[in-house]
Amino acid sequence: MGNGTSIGRVRGKGSAHNGAHHWLSFRYTSVGSLLLTLWFGASLLMLPNFGYAALREWLASPLAATALALFIVVNVWHAQQGLRVVIEDYVHEEGNKFASLIALNLVCFAAAAFGLFCVIRLALGGA
């Protein structure tokens, strides 16, 4: 049982009274992911081919580059939220869970940073 403080309540028995925030935020990113993934799928279908030149031309457009940047951010974010829930469901040992969540966050930040760097290079840089 908890000792009356917030952390005591969490350790003792369940609710920290902020679970709804993660749950809602997860729904927000899922809507963004749905819209941007529809855009991404439609864009793939509208590309003339998947050759180097066609793709460079596509991503030279500011609109496409912006949407692709958002696509990467929202999907990495949504994946982080989802994989976090998976880890919390299956990794019960506290130390392992903590380490897994840290690793997950590091990988997700790195993935988003690399993706954004690539989009910016493709949008602004020469070949």
Partner 1 sequence: MAQQAGTRNRPLSPHLQIWRWGPGMLSSILHRATGIAASVGIFVLLWWLGALVAGPAAYAKFVDLADSPLGILILLGISYSVIAHGITGIRHFVLDTGAGYELDTNKRWATICTALGVILTAVFWAALLLR
- d(CA 79, CA 72) in angstroms, rounded, equals 10
Tell me whether residue 8 or residue 18 sits nearer to partner 1 (CB atom).
8
Tell me whether residue 63 or residue 126 sits nearer to partner 1 (CB atom).
126
**Helices 62-90 and 52-60: angle between axes, nearest 10 degrees:** 100
In angstroms, what is the minimal distance from the CB of 83 to partner 1?
Answer: 6
In angstroms, what is the minimal distance from the CB of 22 to partner 1?
Answer: 14
Query: What amino acid is encoded at 22 in this protein?
Result: H
Which residues in this chain contact partner 1 in the complex, by CB under 8 A?
11-12, 27, 30, 34, 37, 41, 44-45, 50, 52, 55-56, 59, 72, 75-76, 79, 82-83, 86, 89-90, 92-94, 111, 114-115, 118-119, 121-122, 125, 127
Tell me whether residue 4 or residue 89 sits nearer to partner 1 (CB atom).
89
- d(CA 34, CA 31) in angstroms, rounded, equals 5
Residue owning tokens 């952390």? 7
In angstroms, what is the minimal distance from the CB of 125 to partner 1?
Answer: 8
**Helices 94-124 and 52-60: angle between axes, nearest 10 degrees:** 90
Contacts of 58 (CB under 8 A, 6+ apart): 43, 47, 64
Tell me whether residue 76 or residue 100 sits nearer to partner 1 (CB atom).
76
- The pair of structure tokens assigned to 47 is 């590309």
In angstroms, what is the minimal distance from the CB of 16 to partner 1?
Answer: 13
